[in-house]
Amino acid sequence: MPEMTFTVRWPDGTVADLYSPSLVMHDFLAAGSDYPLQEFVDKSAEALDLASARVKAKFGFECTSAMQQKAEILASAAHFTPSSAVRVLSMLPPLEA
């Protein structure tokens, strides 16, 4: 199962490299795009839940790394106002054309 990282800029300018055990994140977010904070949290959480479910279907257990990443996103987002935005800087590996 291919893994990926996605790099975001939080509303305070902090840049973070985030992890997904699946390329499914490409179905929810796009590099170079800005998302309202709650939309980013919701899309990331849904994608990470789906990625974890795919790991469970393949290996018989959920992906603890995906669940940890989801928890870290929720914790980070709690520091910002709901009206702020998150920018997705990059997604690696990128989708093939």
Taking only the tens place, the pLDDT of each residue in 5-34 is 999 999 999 999 999 998 999 999 999 999
Q: How confident is the model at residue 1 (pLDDT cuts 50, 70, 90)?
A: low
pLDDT tens-digit map of 84-93: 999 999 999 9
At position 59, the amino acid (one-letter code) is F
CA–centroid distance for 65 within its chain: 12
Model confidence, pTM: 0.92
Q: How far apart are the two ends of the chain, measured CA to CA in Å?
A: 20
